[in-house]
Amino acid sequence: MTIDPDLIAKVCGPLLSLIVSATIKHYAEARSKVVSFIGHVSAFTLQDEQHTVVHTHSVVVRNAGRKAASNVRLTHGVLPINVTLYPPVQHSIARNADGSGEIVLPVLVPKEQVTVSYLYFPPLLWNQINLATKSDEGFAKIINVMPMPQPSKGVIAGVWALMFIGASFLFYWVVRLVIYAL
Protein backbone atom coordinates (compact mmCIF):
# COMPACT_ATOMS: atom_id res chain seq x y z
CA MET A 1 0.00 0.00 0.00
CA THR A 2 1.40 3.37 -1.00
CA ILE A 3 0.73 6.57 0.88
CA ASP A 4 -0.03 9.57 -1.22
CA PRO A 5 2.23 12.40 0.05
CA ASP A 6 -0.06 15.00 -1.45
CA LEU A 7 -3.01 13.69 0.61
CA ILE A 8 -0.93 13.71 3.79
CA ALA A 9 0.15 17.30 3.11
CA LYS A 10 -3.45 18.37 2.42
CA VAL A 11 -4.65 16.88 5.70
CA CYS A 12 -1.68 17.86 7.89
CA GLY A 13 -1.38 21.48 6.67
CA PRO A 14 -4.70 22.75 8.04
CA LEU A 15 -4.37 20.62 11.18
CA LEU A 16 -0.90 21.97 11.92
CA SER A 17 -2.00 25.56 11.32
CA LEU A 18 -4.97 25.07 13.66
CA ILE A 19 -2.78 23.58 16.41
CA VAL A 20 -0.06 26.24 16.06
CA SER A 21 -2.56 29.14 16.04
CA ALA A 22 -4.43 27.74 19.07
CA THR A 23 -1.15 27.33 20.96
CA ILE A 24 -0.01 30.87 20.13
CA LYS A 25 -3.39 32.29 21.14
CA HIS A 26 -3.37 30.36 24.42
CA TYR A 27 0.08 31.60 25.47
CA ALA A 28 -0.45 35.14 24.21
CA GLU A 29 -3.78 35.76 25.93
CA ALA A 30 -3.64 33.78 29.17
CA ARG A 31 -2.16 36.70 31.15
CA SER A 32 -3.01 40.18 32.27
CA LYS A 33 -2.18 43.02 29.91
CA VAL A 34 -2.44 46.46 31.48
CA VAL A 35 -2.59 49.38 29.04
CA SER A 36 -2.87 53.07 29.83
CA PHE A 37 -3.56 56.21 27.84
CA ILE A 38 -4.44 59.88 28.28
CA GLY A 39 -8.18 60.33 27.86
CA HIS A 40 -8.27 64.11 27.54
CA VAL A 41 -6.41 67.26 28.56
CA SER A 42 -8.19 70.58 28.95
CA ALA A 43 -8.09 73.99 30.60
CA PHE A 44 -11.02 76.13 31.67
CA THR A 45 -11.20 79.82 32.50
CA LEU A 46 -13.90 80.35 35.09
CA GLN A 47 -16.26 83.30 34.74
CA ASP A 48 -15.45 84.70 38.18
CA GLU A 49 -13.85 88.01 39.17
CA GLN A 50 -10.30 86.60 39.06
CA HIS A 51 -10.81 84.61 35.82
CA THR A 52 -9.38 81.56 37.52
CA VAL A 53 -7.82 78.96 35.23
CA VAL A 54 -8.49 75.31 36.02
CA HIS A 55 -6.72 72.39 34.35
CA THR A 56 -8.05 68.87 34.02
CA HIS A 57 -7.04 65.62 32.38
CA SER A 58 -7.82 61.94 32.64
CA VAL A 59 -5.85 58.74 32.43
CA VAL A 60 -7.56 55.52 31.39
CA VAL A 61 -6.20 52.24 32.76
CA ARG A 62 -7.46 49.01 31.21
CA ASN A 63 -6.71 45.34 31.67
CA ALA A 64 -6.90 44.08 28.08
CA GLY A 65 -5.75 40.58 29.06
CA ARG A 66 -7.60 37.47 30.16
CA LYS A 67 -6.20 37.29 33.70
CA ALA A 68 -6.71 39.70 36.60
CA ALA A 69 -3.97 42.28 37.19
CA SER A 70 -2.91 42.69 40.83
CA ASN A 71 -1.83 45.89 42.60
CA VAL A 72 -2.14 48.27 39.67
CA ARG A 73 -0.20 51.40 40.64
CA LEU A 74 -0.38 54.84 39.04
CA THR A 75 2.70 56.74 40.18
CA HIS A 76 2.70 60.54 40.20
CA GLY A 77 5.37 63.21 40.30
CA VAL A 78 2.71 65.50 41.77
CA LEU A 79 -0.56 64.01 42.99
CA PRO A 80 -3.37 66.62 42.93
CA ILE A 81 -5.86 66.72 45.77
CA ASN A 82 -8.88 66.51 43.44
CA VAL A 83 -8.86 63.00 41.95
CA THR A 84 -11.89 60.97 40.87
CA LEU A 85 -12.08 57.36 39.69
CA TYR A 86 -14.88 56.17 37.42
CA PRO A 87 -16.47 53.74 37.77
CA PRO A 88 -16.01 53.85 41.52
CA VAL A 89 -13.66 51.01 42.42
CA GLN A 90 -11.82 50.06 45.58
CA HIS A 91 -8.52 51.93 45.68
CA SER A 92 -6.08 53.58 48.04
CA ILE A 93 -4.14 56.81 47.69
CA ALA A 94 -0.67 57.12 49.23
CA ARG A 95 0.67 60.69 49.35
CA ASN A 96 4.29 61.56 50.10
CA ALA A 97 5.50 64.70 51.87
CA ASP A 98 7.04 66.04 48.62
CA GLY A 99 3.67 66.02 46.82
CA SER A 100 4.26 62.79 44.88
CA GLY A 101 2.17 59.71 45.44
CA GLU A 102 0.46 56.60 44.14
CA ILE A 103 -3.05 55.46 43.42
CA VAL A 104 -3.28 51.70 44.02
CA LEU A 105 -6.03 49.51 42.57
CA PRO A 106 -5.88 46.12 44.37
CA VAL A 107 -7.22 44.23 41.36
CA LEU A 108 -8.21 45.02 37.79
CA VAL A 109 -10.27 42.14 36.41
CA PRO A 110 -10.02 41.12 32.73
CA LYS A 111 -11.49 43.71 30.34
CA GLU A 112 -12.06 46.19 33.21
CA GLN A 113 -11.37 49.85 32.52
CA VAL A 114 -11.01 52.66 35.05
CA THR A 115 -10.80 56.37 34.24
CA VAL A 116 -8.84 58.53 36.69
CA SER A 117 -9.71 62.23 36.37
CA TYR A 118 -7.57 65.03 37.81
CA LEU A 119 -8.45 68.67 38.59
CA TYR A 120 -5.64 71.14 39.40
CA PHE A 121 -4.51 74.72 39.01
CA PRO A 122 -1.60 76.41 37.18
CA PRO A 123 1.37 76.38 37.06
CA LEU A 124 0.90 72.59 37.26
CA LEU A 125 0.52 70.88 33.86
CA TRP A 126 -0.73 67.41 32.92
CA ASN A 127 2.72 66.09 31.93
CA GLN A 128 4.09 66.86 35.43
CA ILE A 129 1.54 64.63 37.14
CA ASN A 130 1.59 61.06 35.79
CA LEU A 131 4.86 59.15 35.72
CA ALA A 132 4.10 55.46 35.18
CA THR A 133 1.50 52.75 35.47
CA LYS A 134 2.51 49.29 36.64
CA SER A 135 1.19 46.14 38.27
CA ASP A 136 2.65 43.03 39.89
CA GLU A 137 2.98 41.61 36.37
CA GLY A 138 5.11 44.54 35.11
CA PHE A 139 4.80 47.98 33.55
CA ALA A 140 1.68 48.95 31.63
CA LYS A 141 1.92 49.59 27.93
CA ILE A 142 1.37 53.30 27.29
CA ILE A 143 -0.53 53.75 24.05
CA ASN A 144 -1.24 56.79 21.92
CA VAL A 145 -4.91 56.85 21.12
CA MET A 146 -6.32 57.89 17.77
CA PRO A 147 -10.10 57.63 17.36
CA MET A 148 -10.93 55.39 14.42
CA PRO A 149 -13.88 53.29 13.28
CA GLN A 150 -13.80 49.65 14.29
CA PRO A 151 -14.17 47.01 11.57
CA SER A 152 -17.35 44.95 11.59
CA LYS A 153 -17.42 41.39 12.88
CA GLY A 154 -17.75 40.14 9.30
CA VAL A 155 -14.53 41.88 8.27
CA ILE A 156 -12.70 40.49 11.31
CA ALA A 157 -13.99 36.98 10.56
CA GLY A 158 -12.88 37.35 6.93
CA VAL A 159 -9.38 38.40 7.98
CA TRP A 160 -9.10 35.42 10.34
CA ALA A 161 -10.33 33.08 7.58
CA LEU A 162 -7.73 34.44 5.15
CA MET A 163 -4.99 34.07 7.78
CA PHE A 164 -6.05 30.46 8.39
CA ILE A 165 -6.03 29.69 4.66
CA GLY A 166 -2.59 31.27 4.30
CA ALA A 167 -1.19 29.32 7.25
CA SER A 168 -2.72 26.10 5.90
CA PHE A 169 -1.10 26.75 2.51
CA LEU A 170 2.27 27.37 4.17
CA PHE A 171 2.08 24.21 6.28
CA TYR A 172 0.91 22.20 3.26
CA TRP A 173 4.12 23.06 1.43
CA VAL A 174 6.26 22.48 4.52
CA VAL A 175 4.80 18.98 4.94
CA ARG A 176 5.26 18.25 1.22
CA LEU A 177 8.87 19.34 1.33
CA VAL A 178 9.57 17.24 4.43
CA ILE A 179 7.93 14.18 2.87
CA TYR A 180 9.84 14.57 -0.41
CA ALA A 181 13.10 15.16 1.49
CA LEU A 182 12.64 11.85 3.31
Helix H or strand E encompassing 54: strand 53-63
Asked if residue 172 and residue 122 are part of one domain, the reply reads no
Asked if residue 89 and residue 155 are part of one domain, the reply reads no
Question: What's residue 77's pLDDT?
Answer: 92
- The length of the chain is 182
Asked if residue 82 and residue 155 are part of one domain, the reply reads no
Query: Residue 67's domain spans which residues?
Result: 34-136
Asked if residue 132 and residue 120 are part of one domain, the reply reads yes
> How open is the CA angle 91-95-99, to the nearest 5 degrees?
140
Side chain identity, residue 40 = H
Do the domain assignments include residue 97? Answer: yes
Question: What's residue 29's pLDDT?
Answer: 67
Segment 46-95, tens digit of pLDDT: 998 989 999 999 999 999 888 899 999 999 999 999 999 999 999 999 99
Asked if residue 43 and residue 24 are part of one domain, the reply reads no
CATH number at residue 79: 2.60.40
Do the domain assignments include residue 142? Answer: no
Asked if residue 121 and residue 160 are part of one domain, the reply reads no
Asked if residue 124 and residue 40 are part of one domain, the reply reads yes
pLDDT grade, residue 1 (50/70/90)? low
Do the domain assignments include residue 115? Answer: yes
164 neighbors 17 (Cβ within 8 angstroms): yes
pTM: 0.68
Q: What value does the mean pLDDT take over residues 39-47? A: 91
Residue 109 three-state SS: coil
Question: What's residue 52's pLDDT?
Answer: 92
> Distance between CA atoms of 167 and 128, rounded to whole angstroms?
47
Asked if residue 129 and residue 158 are part of one domain, the reply reads no
* 120 conformational bin, left if phi > 0, alpha if psi -120 to 50, beta if neither: beta
Do the domain assignments include residue 67? Answer: yes
Give the total number of structural domains in the chain: 2
Asked if residue 160 and residue 80 are part of one domain, the reply reads no
> Distance between CA atoms of 24 and 13, rounded to whole angstroms?
16
